[in-house]
Each structure stands twice: as structure tokens, then as C-alpha cells.
């Protein structure tokens, strides 16, 4: 582990020097990438410093414990035991941090939630998922910015797209992609029967212009009047924007912002993310067409998780993990599930 640690500490020093360079202000893309890398290396620097210091002190304690001075040797033996315990505590956590990570994990994330089968109940469940992810993000100090929302009856949503911004946003959310299933008695059910509904979640890494090159000639941009609830600009000006990427036929519509320009900027942000996600998915498929484990890829065509209300149980089917605190999970306490998925993904990557 030590060679990896010293390499990471050396890289952290290089990143700090580059960030201090005044000329970096002219390259916002590079500055953003270095900022994310600096945030990722910060816990390694903190824990690595503690680990190396404890190792030095342990070597000194062992030397003193072999002293002919019985009193000094006894004190050193106590210090030795404490330092060995500290290294045993820090070591596994540090080793996990040193496992190579996908650089995309430090990116911001685009999270898309859509109601699936189940009518109004599916739309209500989609709203529950949006609330769950918003609270989870806030607990991790991340900022959630609405991109677009299509509301349904009874307080549900047909579709919601949000941008989650901050350190490790995509890393925390990426394995949420897939079909989420809920089993519960809907509020509209008079006879108390349990219904099964579903919603789909797609998590995309925020794309930068250097990731995906979009030619202006590949775009068809249509403008139209906004519809639905809103301010004075709704139904009075052609502020809504629909962008079609002709080579892939990916369509992004945006009408939540007040001006046509704001809607176009938001739509392009989502389009870049979807194109990057498509590129990553195609590369992943080419590398491992026969792979069945989807923890690392977040394949959204499969049922990944079930939320069972009668038993207060949440089951992640990819790693066969169940927790029995459904209320807390829906309140944004996803850490146990996310950590287990991350660990399974890294173990799978190490074994590959």
C-alpha cells in the first residue's frame, strides 16, 4: 500500500502547485478538472499523513519497548499497542481510498426520474424518489438544481430532471440507474390491496465540451410556447426549446426557464450528458457484452431495487442486500446501500 500512498501524496502536491498557478484562470476546463482531483485526493492526504506519522511513531515505540529501562519499556509498550490499533483502524479505510477510481466519479451528475408502470401511483413514487435523492444530496453537501419537471395529478411527477453538483456527485449517484419498484397500498386503493408500480432512474455524468464535440449542423432547434403552470412568460412567448441531435435522434425539451436562451443552455447541458452517457455505454458494451454483473455499469434496463412498504424493506437485487429501514431510506439515508454498491463495484473491478 505504501508505494500507492506515496504516489498519491506526490500527485496531490503537483495538483496543489498547478491550482496555485495564476495562468490556470485562462483554462476553466482544466481548473475544474484539477479542482475535482484535489477534492478526491484530500481525504487520502489527511489519512495518509496520519498513517505515515503513526508508522514512524510505532517504529520508535518498538525500539523503546526493547530498552533495558523497565519503566520506559512499559510505557513504550502501551504506546505501541495504541499505535498498532490506530494503524489497524486507518489502514483499511486508506486502502479503499487508494483503489483506482473512474475519473468521471468526480463529475457533477444529471439525474432523470420518470414514472413507469402503475399510473398515478407510479407518478407518486417518482416524486418520492426525487425527494429521497434531493435529501440524500443535501446530506452530502451537494447542490440540487432543477432542470425540468413534468407534474402529474395528486402531487406526483411524470418526469423530473435535476443537476446534482458538488464533489463526488456522479460517484454517489451513478449506481442508482435502473428500474425502481415499489410495493404498497396506494392512497387511492379502497380495499387495501398492495399494488406494484415502478419508476426509472437514469444518472448521467455531466459532460464538458472537451468530452463530446457537437457540431452545430447536427442540431435541429425548435422553439415553441411554454405550457403548464408558470409565470408571465408562459403561453405568451416562444421561450420553450426542443433540441434534436440528428445523428443519434436524441431529443431534449426544456421550458422551465423564463427565457429562450436559458432554456437552450439547460437543454444543451442535458444533451451533452446524454451523448456522453451513450458513448460510455457503447464502450462498456464493446468491452464486456457477456457480463451479467451490472453493479459497475448501472444498466438501467434492469430492476435494481424494490421498496416494500408492508415489510419496511428495501432490497437491492444486484448485491442481494436488504435493509429494514424503508422510511429512513426514503428520507435520504441511502449511505449503507451506496457504500455496499461501491464496494462491490470496486471488488469486481479489482477481480477483472
For domain 105-208+292-351, the CATH class is alpha beta
- Cα–Cα distances in Å, from 153 out to 132, 180, 289? 19, 20, 41
In tens, the pLDDT along 12-66 reads: 999 999 999 988 888 887 888 888 889 889 999 999 999 999 999 999 999 998 8
Identify the pLDDT of residue 313.
Answer: 97
For residues 255-264, average pLDDT: 88
Largest CA distance in the chain: 91
Cβ-contact 342, 105 below 8 angstroms:
no
Which strand ranges, in their side-by-side order, compose the sheet holding 219-224?
219-224, 240-245, 250-254
| pTM value > 0.75 | no
pLDDT reading at 285 higher than 90 = no
pLDDT grade for 142, boundaries at 50, 70 and 90: very high
Spatial distance between the Cα atoms of 148 and 133, rounded to a whole number of angstroms: 15
State the span(s) of the chain assigned CATH 3.30.160.20. 216-286
Identify the pLDDT of residue 25.
Answer: 85
Identify the pLDDT of residue 258.
Answer: 81
In tens, the pLDDT along 223-248 reads: 988 765 544 445 556 789 999 999 99
Identify the pLDDT of residue 208.
Answer: 73
pLDDT reading at 352 higher than 60 = no
CATH number (1.20.1250, 1.20.1260, 1.10.3110, 1.20.58) of 2-97 reads 1.20.58
**Grid coordinates standing for 173?**
449517484
For residues 272-289, average pLDDT: 76
pLDDT grade for 270, boundaries at 50, 70 and 90: very high
Spatial distance between the Cα atoms of 128 and 154, rounded to a whole number of angstroms: 12
- CATH code for the part of the protein at 216-286: 3.30.160.20
pLDDT grade for 159, boundaries at 50, 70 and 90: very high
Cβ-contact 163, 145 below 8 angstroms:
yes
Label residue 25 exposed, middle or buried (CB < 10 Å: 0-12, 13-18, 19+).
Answer: exposed
Spatial distance between the Cα atoms of 48 and 97, rounded to a whole number of angstroms: 10
For residues 92-102, average pLDDT: 81
Identify the pLDDT of residue 350.
Answer: 63
pLDDT reading at 302 higher than 80 = no
Lowest mean pLDDT among 127-141, 217-231, 276-290, 332-346: 276-290
Identify the pLDDT of residue 161.
Answer: 93
Q: Which residues lie closer than 8 Å to 203 by C-beta, 6 or more apart?
A: 109, 110, 111, 112, 170, 173, 174, 175, 176, 177, 298
**What secondary structure letter does DSSP report for 218?**
G
Over pLDDT 70: what percentage of the chain?
89
Dihedral sign, Cα of residue 153, residue 155, residue 157, residue 160: positive
State the span(s) of the chain assigned CATH 1.20.58. 2-97
Q: Is 210 left (phi over 0), alpha (psi -120 to 50) or beta?
A: alpha
pLDDT reading at 253 higher than 70 = yes
Phi, psi of 263 (to 5 degrees): -65, -40
Identify the pLDDT of residue 96.
Answer: 79
pLDDT grade for 304, boundaries at 50, 70 and 90: very high
Lowest mean pLDDT among 26-35, 105-114, 117-126, 260-269: 26-35
State the span(s) of the chain assigned CATH 3.30.70.1660. 105-208+292-351
SS3 content of the chain, % helix, strand, coil (to 5): 50, 20, 30
pLDDT reading at 287 higher than 80 = no
pLDDT reading at 153 higher than 90 = no
DSSP letters along 257-272, please?
Answer: SSSHHHHHHHHHHHHH
Alpha helix positions (H), the chain: 2-19, 28-65, 70-97, 119-139, 169-173, 260-287, 326-330, 335-351
pLDDT grade for 297, boundaries at 50, 70 and 90: very low
Over pLDDT 90: what percentage of the chain?
53
Label residue 275 exposed, middle or buried (CB < 10 Å: 0-12, 13-18, 19+).
Answer: buried
Cβ-contact 64, 73 below 8 angstroms:
yes
Cβ-contact 264, 254 below 8 angstroms:
yes
Spatial distance between the Cα atoms of 4 and 175, rounded to a whole number of angstroms: 26
pLDDT reading at 293 higher than 60 = no
pLDDT reading at 296 higher than 80 = no
pLDDT reading at 341 higher than 50 = yes
For residues 289-308, average pLDDT: 59
**Grid coordinates standing for 179?**
428500474
Mean pLDDT rounded to a whole number for the chain: 86
Amino acid at each position: 500500500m505504501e508505494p500507492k500512498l506515496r504516489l498519491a501524496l506526490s500527485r496531490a502536491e503537483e495538483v496543489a502547485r498547478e491550482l496555485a498557478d495564476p495562468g490556470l484562470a485562462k483554462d476553466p476546463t482544466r481548473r475544474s478538472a484539477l479542482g475535482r482531483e484535489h477534492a478526491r485526493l484530500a481525504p487520502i492526504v489527511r489519512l495518509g499523513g496520519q498513517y505515515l506519522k503513526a508508522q514512524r511513531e510505532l517504529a520508535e515505540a518498538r525500539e523503546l519497548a526493547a530498552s533495558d529501562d523497565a519503566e520506559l519499556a512499559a510505557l513504550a509498550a502501551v504506546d505501541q499497542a495504541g499505535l498498532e490499533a490506530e494503524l489497524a483502524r486507518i489502514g483499511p479505510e486508506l486502502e479503499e481510498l487508494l483503489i483506482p477510481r473512474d475519473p468521471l466519479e468526480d463529475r457533477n451528475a444529471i439525474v432523470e426520474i420518470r414514472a413507469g408502470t402503475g399510473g398515478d401511483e407510479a407518478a407518486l413514487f417518482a416524486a418520492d424518489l426525487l425527494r429521497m435523492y434531493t435529501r440524500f444530496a443535501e446530506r452530502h453537501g451537494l447542490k440540487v438544481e432543477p432542470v425540468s419537471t413534468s407534474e402529474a395529478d395528486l402531487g406526483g411527477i411524470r418526469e423530473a430532471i435535476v443537476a446534482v453538483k458538488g464533489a463526488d456527485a456522479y460517484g454517489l449517484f451513478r449506481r442508482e440507474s435502473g428500474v425502481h419498484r415499489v410495493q404498497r397500498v396506494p392512497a387511492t386503493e379502497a380495499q387495501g390491496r398492495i399494488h406494484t408500480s415502478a419508476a426509472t432512474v437514469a444518472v448521467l455524468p455531466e459532460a464538458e465540451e472537451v468530452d463530446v464535440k457537437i457540431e452545430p449542423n447536427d442540431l435541429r432547434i425548435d422553439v415553441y410556447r411554454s405550457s403548464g403552470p408558470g409565470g408571465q412568460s408562459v403561453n405568451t412567448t416562444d421561450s420553450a426549446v426542443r433540441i434534436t441531435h440528428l445523428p443519434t435522434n436524441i431529443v431534449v425539451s426544456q421550458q422551465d426557464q423564463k427565457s429562450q436562451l436559458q432554456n437552450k443552455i439547460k437543454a444543451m447541458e442535458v444533451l451533452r450528458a446524454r451523448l456522453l452517457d451513450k458513448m460510455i455505454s457503447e464502450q462498456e458494451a464493446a468491452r464486456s457484452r457477456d457480463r451479467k454483473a451490472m453493479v459497475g455499469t448501472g444498466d438501467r434496463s434492469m430492476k435494481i431495487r424494490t421498496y416494500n412498504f408492508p415489510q419496511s424493506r428495501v432490497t437491492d437485487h444486484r448485491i442481494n442486500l436488504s435493509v429494514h429501514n424503508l422510511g429512513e431510506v426514503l428520507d435520504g439515508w441511502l449511505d449503507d446501500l451506496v457504500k455496499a454498491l461501491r464496494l462491490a463495484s470496486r471488488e469486481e473491478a479489482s477481480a477483472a
